């Protein structure tokens, strides 16, 4: 699906105080951007921001960074934050990045991130594009470079082929192991506890599409 460009997006993102500009300068110093020094969690490919904004509001004890590659999409999240600010409800523990996720090791220091959320990532269905998938071997290597010793990855998708591929790459990863998995999240009582939905999740699940989820932790063997 072709992304619709929003004329005001580039300028809004460039001037927003919620967007971290020149993020490589924050490497090893991300805690200084927030009011409180506490665990940092990322969502990569956050879309319009519903999930990461809801998480930040639900968990003020955690600092969040939402990552979105496209300014026209990130702009929608900024609009949500502006609306919350007018209502006096904007979370202060959330910042945004407009970058390609391949840059992560240049932006975060080893051990600086506690958790990475991957929600309904682009499946890149053609085999020649497999290395662009956010659960590919190359990206797992990048995550390994920034996650804390007890760090974890949470991945959700409605695309069964992408999920099966992700299970395969995780199974052979030297850094991570599959802690839990489900092919139908909303019917899995244990894994659905405390689940926060994204825009896509609500849309897909309302049509009866099962949501797959897996949790990865660092290997302990």
Beta strands in the chain (DSSP E): 40-44, 63-67, 94-97, 113-119, 147-157, 176-182, 212-218
Mean pLDDT of 83-108: 97
27, pLDDT greater than 50: yes
Report the b/e string of 23-62 with b at 16+ CB within 10 A.
Answer: beebeeebeeebeeeebbbbbbbbbbbbbbbebbbebeeb
State the pLDDT at residue 183. 98
State the pLDDT at residue 1. 43
State the pLDDT at residue 98. 97
Tokens of 122: 């682009």
Active site amino acids: 122
- The string of pLDDT tens digits covering residues 173-217 is 999 999 999 999 999 999 999 999 999 999 989 999 999 999 999
Tokens of 104: 């992560």
Instruction: Tell me the pLDDT band of 41, cut-offs 50, 70 and 90.
Output: very high
Binding residue ranges: 43, 68, 100, 122, 126, 158, 198-201
Binding residue ranges for substrate: 126, 158, 198-201
**Where do the domains of the chain lie, and which CATH numbers do they carry?**
9-218 (3.40.50.150)
Beta-ladder partners of 9: none
More confident residue, 3 or 105: 105
- The string of pLDDT tens digits covering residues 154-164 is 999 999 999 99
Place of tokens 């490919």: 45
């Amino acid at each position: 699906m072709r992304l619709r460009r929003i004329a005001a997006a580039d300028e809004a993102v460039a001037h927003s105080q919620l967007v971290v500009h020149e993020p490589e300068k924050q490497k090893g110093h991300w805690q200084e951007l927030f009011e409180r020094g506490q665990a940092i969690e990322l969502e990569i490919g956050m879309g319009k921001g519903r999930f990461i904004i809801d998480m930040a509001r639900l968990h003020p004890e955690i600092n969040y960074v939402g990552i979105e590659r496209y300014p026209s999409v990130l702009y929608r999240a900024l609009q949500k934050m502006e609306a919350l600010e007018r209502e006096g409800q904007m979370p202060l523990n959330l910042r945004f990045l407009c970058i390609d996720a391949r840059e992560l090791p240049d932006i975060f220091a080893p051990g600086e991130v506690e958790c990475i959320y991957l929600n309904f990532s682009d499946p890149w269905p053609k085999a020649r594009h497999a290395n662009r998938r956010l659960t590919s071997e190359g990206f797992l290597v990048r995550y390994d470079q920034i996650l804390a010793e007890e760090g974890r990855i949470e991945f959700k998708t409605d695309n069964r082929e992408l999920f099966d591929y992700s299970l395969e790459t995780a199974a052979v990863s030297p850094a991570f192991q599959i802690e839990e998995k489900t092919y139908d999240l909303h019917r899995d009582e244990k894994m659905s506890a405390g689940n926060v939905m994204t825009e896509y999740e609500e849309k897909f699940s309302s049509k009866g599409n099962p949501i797959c989820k897996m949790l990865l932790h660092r290997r302990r063997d």
